[in-house]
Amino acid sequence: MPELHLSGTVPAPPAPPAAPDGAPRARRFRSARRVPAVLAAVVVLGAAGALLYDVAAVRASRPATAWRRRLARELAERPLDDAWIVAGAAVAVVLGGWLLVLAVTPGLRGVLPMRRDTPGLRAGLDRRAAALVLRDRALRIPGVQSVRVDVGRRLIRVRAQSHFRDLDDVRSDLDDVLADGVRELGLARHPVLSVRVHRPVKR
């Protein structure tokens, strides 16, 4: 017996009431990036401290340290197309690009910002928690055997199996119940709901 499928996309729920005057716009949560920040600070501080100490020693009529003399000699003698020079430049570019990406991206993709109806109060909802809430709602619908929910910032995908009732009726109930569920999550940005219902495979 062929497997039956029924799918469709539900428009985003109606927008919630406007936030009170003065309520700030909800923005995505940003990661603290503590580990990259600490590593970059330690490297920069260590390199700057060693260089400053050597410069101060030279100013005090002491010879430059061996590592700085060797570094200056290597930089003066090696051509720009030398393998070590190219490798060092490539590593520096990669590390710099990585730090730039960390600086401009929020990082906390698993947290969805919620509406800021009260000034000074900011809240977020974990994607897995939101998916669990919607999944529990869907399983209460008669005829739904199993449900898989994937929550994203712009789209919520729902894949349900129905072992009895007409697929049109099951999907209609899912559309109504999940649309209310998404609205009650209180998200700052309402994602589009994509619902797909099918029969379990008979073996």
Enter the tokens of residue 70: 């060797």
Could you give phi then psi for residue 94, rounded to 5 degrees? Answer: -65, -45
pTM over 0.75: no
pLDDT of residue 180: 93
pLDDT of residue 136: 95
pLDDT of residue 192: 92
pLDDT of residue 128: 92
Q: What is the largest CA-CA distance in the chain?
A: 92
The residues of the chain scoring below 70 in pLDDT are 1-32, 203
List the domain boundaries for the chain.
Answer: 5-16+111-198, 34-104
Distance CA 90, CA 26 (A): 39
Q: 3-class SS at 162?
A: strand
Q: Considering just the CA atoms, what is the radius of gyration of the chain in Å?
A: 29
Per the DSSP assignment, residues forming a β-bridge with 124 are: 113
pLDDT of residue 171: 93
pLDDT of residue 98: 84
Asked if residues 143 and 179 have their Cβ atoms less than 8 Å apart, the reply is: no
pLDDT of residue 120: 73
Place of tokens 């209460």: 140
pLDDT of residue 131: 94
Distance CA 117, CA 19 (A): 5
Does the domain made of 5-16+111-198 have the CATH classification 3.90.550.10?
A: no
| The dihedral sign for the CA sequence 73, 74, 75, 79 | positive
Burial 68-100 (b: 16+ CB within 10 A, else e): beeeeeeeeeeeeeeeeeeeeeeeeeeeeeeee
pLDDT of residue 138: 94
pLDDT of residue 2: 47
Distance CA 152, CA 111 (A): 10
pLDDT of residue 23: 52
Pairing of strands 155-162, 144-151: antiparallel
